[in-house]
Structure 1
């Protein structure tokens, strides 16, 4: 997203262990602190993950959950509700009791786009949630073949201006992080790099790129590391304000003069109406966990770029990003 909108951004991902149906009933009675009291939580807390067990979002969440249990002094139990690109889980989160007994992993752009895009027909809005903290921001990187003539982002932009619509770039589908990132770059630089969508995911995108079928590989900087290490690609830029710890020698879009910052973020939110004291207690607990070097190292080992926003700043981030995505949604459907 534009740096001016994304400047306060960082990232957060939170996690836990699995919740049985019996625990689901218990959470409404035992989580405690629903009135915003200082003893929150006084019982188990459920963390809802809108994706399959074992995936990147789930693994990062469970890592956080383990540490949150130590910080909160209560069990933090993961409940997976996958389906419809996260909408099933987000719907359940939005409709849960706002008593602090349940909160959920939130991914952006996924959640915001599903709420704002009329074609998704989501049963929730951006305001259906109370953002608590951000844990992860994984910026999009642009990779080229090792023998590519493009040595800098300026080289790529110049070539794209000389041949509109001729240069192609991978995405993992319409409305995905990479798609929005490319749309942002096209808008900011006044160019027309054409997206090629691979709904089967990052592996399919990488295969097409490595086979020479697509000119540019767009991928989160953490996800592209195996391709880089194998010698199959070279990073041109990272769409961020500050350089990534995964690519400290690679210039950012902002350094190169393009006001574009885009990536995947993972954080946590409660249902709207949850007392501020509860939202802030969880935010503070996540922040404490995030300060631990051992935890940050574990995240990096998973390919996750740790960054933290507290509840107030995460809410600002949501609102800013919602405004940006609202302006761009019509472009991704053109």
Structure 2
């Protein structure tokens, strides 16, 4: 039965419901418009930064410092993801396979980005063209180190002994195919000498102990990694690759170039992104990276780590990668032609 007193109440409720629905529908376009604006701006999410080494290693602080400064430059959060394995190949492969959206970046060296695809099957990438290079950030030379009691006082002494006794001098590198080994191969070719190459399961650290004990004659390794042993007097540097500035750290050693040997290899850290970035995103990342690595703050931090701000961005970085690829290819050729 119709009740004249119930209808007004229902009518008032219906009106309130309709007004609420209309208000909510009016808000939806505003929310969607806001989402569209956020999606069109880079960055609008956290950036993951792959470091292809274990936490706490020599390269790990480089990536973490870069990410910390990148957060400030881009006003975005950054997360360091350690993906060790395969002498950088595992982490760099993960970077190569990541979405090219600017939210995955990675650290690596020329050994990882350039040499690994040429010398190992673990790398599922082929060339630096599989990436978007952003910046060469910092680096350290490769040094040739002997024990403090070694009979070889200078690089010339070691080369002369190698000429007199081919194959007798034992020099250790972490692997037979990698930038430290290529330093030796280039030196052999240019000085017309022959040495015996020795690898140790524990890498440069174990090799340094063997040199200090006198069981090996010399070791080639990342110079910044051996600075503590040089400063303590447990190792002595004969020569190093790279820029003259590193004489601040190894004042008693000669640069290979100054001694007449063109050794193009250094341990340089680079930041890259996957290939195929949107140009606006790539530009934003390059500008931020350039601002970081050319800053006084970055230079001060790098030198405090025993490295140098080996800065290159844009075309200069592209040229560097092309040049180092040619050097690595020649190093592989020399290595394949060796008898020991």
* Separation (CA, whole Å) in 1 of partners of 2:314 and 2:200: 35
Q: Which has the greater radius of gyration?
A: 2
Greater displacement, 206-215 / 218-227: 218-227
- Which of 139, 142, 145 aligns to 1:143? It is 145
Alignment of 1:166-245 (within 5 A): 166-244=168-246, 245=248
Do residues 251 (structure 1) and 249 (structure 2) align?
no
Question: What is the CA deviation profile of residues 136-193 of structure 1, one whole-angstrom value per residue up to 9, with x for unaligned ones?
Answer: 2211111222233333322222221111111111211222332121112112221112
Tell me by how many angstroms 1:230 deviates.
1.8
Superposed CA offset, 1:65-96 (max 9, x none): 11111111111221222222222211111111
Q: Which residue number corresponds to residue 4 of structure 2?
A: none
Which deviates further from its counterpart, 213-222 or 246-255? Answer: 246-255
The 1-side partners of 2:37 and 2:303 are apart by: 34
CA contact (8 A) 1:46 1:79 kept: yes
1:95 aligns with 2:97: yes
TM-score (norm 1): 0.83
Deviations 1:250-304 (A, max 9, x none): 3211111111132211101111111344334323322222233343232233333
Alignment partners' CA distance in 2, 1:31 and 1:214: 60
Any idea what the Cα deviations from partners look like across 1:186-233, whole Å, max 9, x if unmatched?
122211122111131222011101110111122222111111122122
Are 2:285 and 1:311 equivalent residues in the alignment?
no
Greater percentage in helix: 2
Q: Does 1:78 align with 2:68?
A: no
Specify the alignment match of 2:282 in structure 1. Answer: 279
Q: Which residue of 1 aligns with 2:33?
A: none
| Separation (CA, whole Å) in 2 of partners of 1:238 and 1:327 | 20
- For structure 1, the 5+ residue unaligned runs are 1-28, 34-38
Q: Equivalent residue of 1:223, what SS? A: helix
Give 1:160's aligned residue: 162
Q: Equivalents in 2 of 1:91, 1:53: separation in Å?
A: 18
- 1:28-78 residue CA offsets vs partner (Å, 9 max, x unmatched): x99966xxxxx5323322211222222222221001111111111111221
After TM superposition, the structure 1 = structure 2 runs for residues 121-136 of structure 1, keeping only pairs within 5 Å, are: 121-126=122-127, 127-136=129-138
Kept after mapping to 1: 8 A contact 2:42/2:281? yes
Determine if contact 2:48/2:105 at 8 Å carries over to the other structure: yes
Mean CA deviation greater in 91-100 or 173-182: 173-182
Q: Please, what is the CA RMSD of the aligned residues?
A: 2.2
Alignment partners' CA distance in 2, 1:64 and 1:178: 25
2:79 alignment partner, SS class: strand
- What secondary structure does 2:225 align onto? coil
1:249 shift after superposition:
4.7
Give the TM-score of the pair, scaled to structure 2: 0.81
Moved more, 213-222 or 139-148: 139-148
Aligned to 1:208, what secondary structure does the other structure show? helix
Alpha-carbon contact 2:58-2:225 (below 8 Å) kept: no
1:109 aligns with 2:103: no
Structure 2: gaps of 5 or more residues: 1-35
Determine the C-alpha separation between the residues in 1 that align with 2:324 and 2:54: 25
